[in-house]
Amino acid sequence: MRAAVLRYRVMAYVTGVVLMVLCFVGVPLQIWAHNEVVASNVGTVHGILYIIYLITAFQLSRKLGLPVASPATVILLLAGTIPVLTFVVERWFTHRYINPALAAEAAAPGPATPARQPR
């Protein structure tokens, strides 16, 4: 579970930063400076990263046992489309779903480790 959470968090932050660069740098440059290079390149990068974000977010929602059509899953998946929302949703999702799941996982007894045999 921890690996899925780490993958999700990395992709949420990377996707959010790239989307902010696209919206707050690339689009203004395209409109006012007639420079389409930044918007085109960053837009392509964001599109690829968003697909990876969708995959990691969906995997996390499945590991947490959330239904596919639940509002939490839909919000989680759409967060990468609105600037700054990935950061807000990541914090909300962490407090609401991830921390309780990690605490329950830590409290659950794990598989018994065999005792070492004396030599």
Q: What is the mean pLDDT of the chain?
A: 91
- The radius of gyration of the chain from alpha carbons, rounded to an integer in Å, stands at 19
Query: Is the per-residue pLDDT at 79 higher than 90?
Result: yes
Express each pLDDT in 15-37 by its tens digit.
Answer: 999 999 999 999 999 999 998 99
What DSSP assignment string belongs to 59-77?
A: HHHHHTT--TTSHHHHHHH
pLDDT band at residue 108, thresholds of 50, 70 and 90? confident
Query: Is the per-residue pLDDT at 116 higher than 90?
Result: no
- What does the pLDDT read at residue 31? 92
Q: Where are the domains of the chain?
A: 2-105
